[in-house]
Structure formats: structure tokens, C-alpha cells
Amino acid sequence: MKKTLITLTTTVALGAMAAHAEEVRVYNWSDYIDEDLLGKFEEETGIKLIYDVFDSNEVLETKMLAGGSGYDVVVPSGTFLQRQITAGAFQKLDMAQLSNKGNMWDAIEARTAKYDPDNAYSINYMWGTTGIGVNVGKVQEALGADAPIDSLALVFDPANMEKLADCGVHLLDAPAEIIPAALAYIGEDPDSHDKDVIAKVEPILTAVRPYIQKFHSSEYINALANGDICVAIGWSGDILQARDRAAEAENGVEIAYSAPSEGALMWFDQMAIPVDAPNPEAAHKFLNFIMDAQNMADASNYVYYANGNLASQPLLEEDVIGDPAIYPNDETIKNLYTTTPYPQKVQRVVTRMWTKIKSGT
């Protein structure tokens, strides 16, 4: 969340463009695209692309609900998308302008229809799971060679956490991700909206709270890669990016990602066009550009997230399409669950509990 304060503004300027050039403003997650694609879009369409980034759904949602964000394309996750559609924040896509729509993967569209019926408002950009990233060496040093690195017990069992505290544990600062995981750990329905069921999470998290160094939603990529921390609950692709950064740095850090055996949250980041987008036509062009098989493959090859584009799959590199941490096999997919947004009253209880867990008040 802290990063939101200095939301890095990457403006890709194109010298050749006329001063009154057409513009399209895209607001996407940080570390979430191959930046070469931004230049390619400008070259192909002659539209100036202004690309800003955020690292929390809450920040995006506040901008959407305030209205007049000035963005043409934004990328909320499924549950947030659903709520924002209800609030009237998005416009229906004009399928006639999206010639690449046929590239999309029906298996994913069937799942995203839960948030966006008929996929009328959004296209899938990337999807992934929320799971456990570990520094294999350090965790085995702390817990022995048979450390449960694919189990939520690693972070929710105080006995394990006590030993891990010294090498550093980060959790996402996102109650909508951590609470379902804790519910899965105790065998409850991760998508429960029942306040009494959700309340069962509090003692579990409070018990391990003293051993958690930080709740943060983007710092763990670098922290894992540098060896500053040894365990993070985070998003699959982010942890895989950490794995690759560590491998490139040859610093002896080996990072592994696993979707927890108790079940892992499957999430979808969807591209949508705000109802008051200044340039919806250019926004459609951007969406169509992203749905191009080669472009989508380039993006996935770069960020290590699976995408919802079936046509891009033959173009994916083997370490992406062949990695079950990115494209889960049929076995793992059975173990994945999805969640739906909390109603306002439950949301308040959840936030309050989250504050209490984090601050002790």
C-alpha cells in the first residue's frame, strides 16, 4: 500500500507524435506488463499511451467510485470488478470493435462470468493463485528438510512461525486474500460471508501475529529475492518473479512457489473501460491489442502469470506453459477456489478485524 503514495507514473512519450495526438490512459497493476508492448501499441496505432500503475484494488476502487478518474482502461480483480459493475462504474464493451475476442479461453471466461455475467464488461488479462513463496534454504534450515512448504500450516501454525520469525515472514496486506486462506486452513468455506465463521480466523492470525514482520502487497517480491525474508503469502506471478530475480542475481537464494494443499484462491484480473472514459474508442483498440495472441504471450512470458487467451498458448515459453505453478494441471485445479465480494456490513467487520489483527487494537 505504501507504494501507492508514490505511484510511479510511467509516461511513454513518443517523439514522432503531433502535439494534439490522440491519447489513451491505462491504469494497471505494478510489475504487470512487458514494457516493450507499450511502445509497440503506440507504433501500431499512433495513439499516445499513458500508463500508470497501482498495487491495491482498494486504491483503484476508490478512484472508480469517485468518478472522473480520467482513465480509459483499468484492471480490477474479479470481486472488485463485480462490485464496481453494480455501482455503474463501467461501460459495456462493444464487441464489434474487438476482433481478437475469439482468442479468449472459454474455460477462463466461464469462471469470470461469475463476476461479470456474459463477460459483457471486461476481458481477462491475467489470472493466478494466492499461495506460499519460500526461500527453500532458509526454511529448511529453520524447520528441517521436511518443512511443510506447500501447506498453510507453514504460516498459520505458531510452532512453525516461531522458528521462521527470525528469517522474516510477510503477508499480503489484503484481508480478502488472507482471510479465505485462514478459513481454508481450518476447513471452513473460504468464501464464507458469515460473520461468525469469519470471526474464527481472528484467533489464528492473532496467534501468529507476533512472528509476522510485515503486511504488504508488493514489497515481498524484492524482499524474497534479496533473501531479506524467507516466507511470503503472495500472488503466484510475483513470487515467480522473485524466483527469477534471485536466479539472475546468482545470490544463492532459491525461491519456490506452491499453491497450498488445503486449497488456493484463484483470482482474475480483468480489463474494463470506465463509464466516463475520455476515449472509449482507443480503449477498445488497447483491449484488442492486448487480446492479440502474440502480445498476450509476450506479456505472460515476461510477468509469469497465466492469461485467459487460448490462442497465445502455443506462443508461450516452456517455463511458463509447462510450469504447474503458473498453468496448474488438472490435479491442482480441483484444489482452487474462488471468492465473491463481501456485502458492505460484512466488509466493515472484516476491515475492523484486520486492523485489530495488525495493530492489536
Per CB under 8 A, does 245 bind another protein?
A: no
CB of 227 to another protein, least distance (A): 10
**For the residues of 50-93, what is the DSSP string, one character each?**
EEEEES-HHHHHHHHHH-----SEE--BHHHHHHHHHTT-B---
The answer to whether 211 and 170 have CB atoms below 8 angstroms apart is no
CB of 78 to another protein, least distance (A): 16
Cα–Cα distance for residue pair 107/213, rounded to 1 Å: 38
Stretch that binds another protein, among 134-142, 261-269, 306-314, 340-348 (CB under 8 A): 340-348
* DSSP structural state of residue 343: P
Minimal distance, residue 155 CB to another protein, in Å: 16
Report DSSP state, residue 104.
B
CA distance 174 to 275: 27
Residue 117 interacting with another protein (CB under 8 A): no
Residue 271 DSSP symbol: E
**Binding segment toward another protein, per CB under 8 A, in 52-60, 100-108, 233-241, 290-298:** 52-60
Give the type of residue at 334. K
Three-class secondary structure assignment of 283-328: HHHHHHHHCCHHHHHHHHHHHCCEECEHHHHHHCCHHHHCCCCCCC
Q: Cβ distance 168 to 161 under 8 Å? A: no
Closest distance to another protein from the beta carbon of 204 (Å): 17
Residue of 28, 56, 103, 130 interacting with another protein (CB under 8 A) = 56
When binding is defined by CB under 8 A, the residue of 43, 44, 62, 251 that contacts another protein is 62
Residue 1 touches another protein, criterion: CB under 8 A = yes
Which residues lie across from 232 on neighbouring strands?
A: 133, 170
- Binding of residue 61 to another protein (CB under 8 A): yes
Residue 159 as a binder of another protein (CB under 8 A): the answer is: no
Looking up cell 497501482, which residue turns up?
A: 54
Please report, as a single letter, which amino acid is at residue 313.
Q
Q: Choose the stretch contacting another protein; rule: CB under 8 A; options: 63-71, 119-127, 134-142, 297-305.
A: 63-71
Q: Establish if 327 lies at the interface with another protein (CB under 8 A).
A: no
Q: How far is C-alpha 66 from the chain's CA centre?
A: 23
**Closest distance of CB 110 from another protein, Å:** 26
Total number of residues that touch another protein (CB under 8 A): 36
Binders of another protein among residues 246 to 285 (CB under 8 A) are 275
Q: Which is nearer to another protein, 87 or 95 (CB)?
A: 87
The residues binding another protein (CB under 8 A) are 1-2, 5-6, 56, 58-59, 61-62, 64-67, 83, 86-89, 175, 213-215, 228, 275, 344, 347-348, 351-352, 354-356, 358-361
